[in-house]
Amino acid sequence: VKARVDEMSGARLERMMRINVIGSMLCAREAVKRMSTRHGGKGGAIVNVSSIAARIGGSGEYVDYAASKGAIDSFTVGLAREVAGEGIRVNAVSPGIIDTEIHASGGQPDRVERMRRLVPMQRAGTTEEVAAAILWLLSDGASFTTGANLEVGGGR
């Protein structure tokens, strides 16, 4: 739900960080244990999901969300450097305004339409466009790419 920081409860902040930051870090930890050549794995690729909100801050609406995604950006770079020599590439994708149901579930069913004018391409992205970026980062075509953050935001 849209809120200013001075209106956010501690429970909201803890939930946001637990899901977006700690959840991502725990998943990555388990992936590293299985993929790392240090642990007998054959290498692999991890793609974290961040958000353009990490760069623009989410002021007046979702500063907590933006901060959690900023943590993902830092984690992506740090983990990429930590495991690069173990055959693991770590990157992130940062979607912008994407046409999904999450806006309605957050109490703003008209958010995509309202935000469309802020996107230079004048439209929202699709989940398929975000998935295509993730698939590329997981592919052999991105074999020399690690620590990158690919924005899928229509120029925003």
Which residue in the list 13, 61, 65, 99 is annotated as catalytic?
65
- Is the confidence at residue 138, as pLDDT, over 90? yes
**pLDDT score recorded for residue 154:** 96
Q: What sign does the dihedral 117-123-126-128 (CA atoms) show?
A: negative
Model pLDDT, residue 107: 65
Is domain 5-152 given the CATH code 3.40.50.720 in the classification? Answer: yes
Mean pLDDT throughout 127-149?
Answer: 98
Please give the pLDDT value at position 24: 98
Range with the lowest mean pLDDT among 3-7, 31-35, 66-70? 3-7
Cβ-proximal residues to 122 (8 Å cutoff; 6+ apart), any chain = 116, 154
Does residue 62 carry a catalytic annotation? no
| Distance in angstroms (rounded) separating the CA atoms of residues 32 and 30 | 5
